[in-house]
Amino acid sequence: MTVITRFAPSPTGSLHLGGARTALFNWLYAKNQGGKFLLRIEDTDLLRSKSIYTKQICDSLKWLNLNWDGEIFFQSRNVSKHLKFANLLLDKGLAYKCYCTKEELNKEKEIALKNKVPYKYSGKCRNLKKSYNTEYVLRIKTPKEGFITLKDNIQGIVNVEYNNLEDFIILRSDNTPTYMLAVVVDDYTMNVTDVIRGDDHLTNTFKQIILYNALNWKLPNFSHIPLIYGADGSKLSKRHGAQSVLEYEKKNLLPEALNNYLLRLGWGYKDKEYFSTQEAIELFSTKGIGKSPSRFDAIKLKSINSYYFKKLTNDQILKKLKPEYSYYNKKKISQLIDLFKNRAENIDDIEEGLSYMCNDIVKNISEDALKLIDKADKNIMIETINKLEKIDFWEASNLEKFIKAEVKKNNIRMFDIAAPIRSSITGKTYSPSIFLVLEKLGKEVSIKRLKNNYYLKDNER
């Protein structure tokens, strides 16, 4: 039988790390089994669902290369089937009309609260013989005795007594299906064989099993993944440095890095850290998913990103640069990429370097760089600039030889001259070798930047 998994987000927000990991695990499992990975948009909550979120979720999945098979399945388009099966359950006497009013239910809730027991619908309408012409909801008849045994691939065997579950609603009074019914009917309609989702759905699963059994449908395999928490053990949020997939994309994180990070968040294979897509597909199984919750670690994500970044070719980096760099000579930009690549951990580091290499002026001078410029011996700097202006062979090793001679002659440290030069020509306190930077910048621009800091009066800078 073909394995069919699905990712079923509600379009009420953009894709977050937890959802992305669920999608990744479903995608990998389907690929591992030679099966299919489907996408279902659970858009039945008309008030909170927005098409912009559907688009964002789809774009994020595509960016992560988690492409789904076939057309997107929209839950809202399957409502006629939801209704059909709800009515079938009613006809078979496995569901019933409940006419209880809000007031009546509130009274039941108050009593439960007073008795300090968890609220559960009393089943007052379960055995009504007559139909009434008033508003009603449809409730499933939860068996009275026995228990449900869930064999979860991750959580193991979990038993729940029917007695702890109520006759829950499957159709609201406005004739719309509840989430519980819609999910089961959709998974059945889509021939889903494996449901892999967050363990916050575990309690829903028991209710859904009641529906599967009532409809006489085969249960899919269930895998409930422990959730992701922040480093402090609380629910993951922005506070922990976690962002939406869209935000990571905007910040130039590499999708392969995010996938690798999410893969290792809760799943492992021996002590292997890095997985190519092919390796992940081959090695993935739900057995490797741990039972305990995982903790988000922004530093780890950054270091994985740096690992993948260092593998990129210049051409790949070129494609990821801001569009403004496409106007420059490709060969020149590629040479500059070589200059920065060794020290760079991400695209931003490259762009930071390019920004002072590709503009006539240094746009931003950091405060620390300004301090180094001011601290330098002005006479030595001006003398050095004057001499530099006379150098014809503007090449790194020649420039290095010259500066070293100046250091010796003035009896100062290399830092005393190299640091203010660096700060003047880059606006930063760090950069690749200043001799290389000087060479690549060219004589004219370099001298102009140096003069700008040492020839002009403070108020002219």
Applying CB under 6 A, the residues found at the interface with ligand GLU are 8-10, 42, 183, 197, 201
> Cβ closer to ligand GLU: 15 or 336?
15
Nearest to 446 by CA among 405, 413, 399: 399
The nearest distance, CB 41 to ligand GLU, in angstroms, is 9
> Cβ closer to ligand GLU: 9 or 420?
9
> Cβ closer to ligand GLU: 69 or 345?
69
| Dist CA 296 CA 250 (whole Å) | 20
> How are beta strands 137-140 and 95-98 bridged, if at all?
antiparallel
> Cβ closer to ligand GLU: 42 or 256?
42
**Cβ neighbours, 10 Å, residue 136:** 18
The nearest distance, CB 78 to ligand GLU, in angstroms, is 14
The nearest distance, CB 223 to ligand GLU, in angstroms, is 11
Cβ atoms of 407 and 309 closer than 8 Å: no
The nearest distance, CB 461 to ligand GLU, in angstroms, is 55
The nearest distance, CB 228 to ligand GLU, in angstroms, is 14
The nearest distance, CB 8 to ligand GLU, in angstroms, is 4
For Cα atoms 69, 70, 76, give the angle at the middle one, nearest 5 degrees. Answer: 115
> How are beta strands 73-74 and 36-41 bridged, if at all?
parallel
For Cα atoms 10, 15, 16, give the angle at the middle one, nearest 5 degrees. Answer: 115
CB-facing half-sphere around the CA of 156: CA atoms within 13 A: 3
DSSP codes joined into one string, 2-31? --EEEE---SSS---HHHHHHHHHHHHHHH
> Cβ closer to ligand GLU: 8 or 280?
8
> Cβ closer to ligand GLU: 220 or 432?
220
The nearest distance, CB 240 to ligand GLU, in angstroms, is 20
Which residue is it, tokens 């005393």?
416
> Cβ closer to ligand GLU: 222 or 340?
222
The nearest distance, CB 197 to ligand GLU, in angstroms, is 4
> Cβ closer to ligand GLU: 183 or 373?
183
| Dist CA 368 CA 373 (whole Å) | 9
96 SS3 class: strand
The nearest distance, CB 329 to ligand GLU, in angstroms, is 48
**Cβ neighbours, 10 Å, residue 131:** 9
> Cβ closer to ligand GLU: 204 or 452?
204
The nearest distance, CB 163 to ligand GLU, in angstroms, is 25
| Dist CA 115 CA 120 (whole Å) | 12
| Dist CA 92 CA 89 (whole Å) | 5
Q: How many residues does the chain have?
A: 461
**Cβ neighbours, 10 Å, residue 140:** 25
360: DSSP letter: S
Cβ atoms of 65 and 259 closer than 8 Å: yes
CB-facing half-sphere around the CA of 172: CA atoms within 13 A: 11
> Cβ closer to ligand GLU: 75 or 426?
75
> Of all helices (H) and strands (E), which one includes residue 394?
none
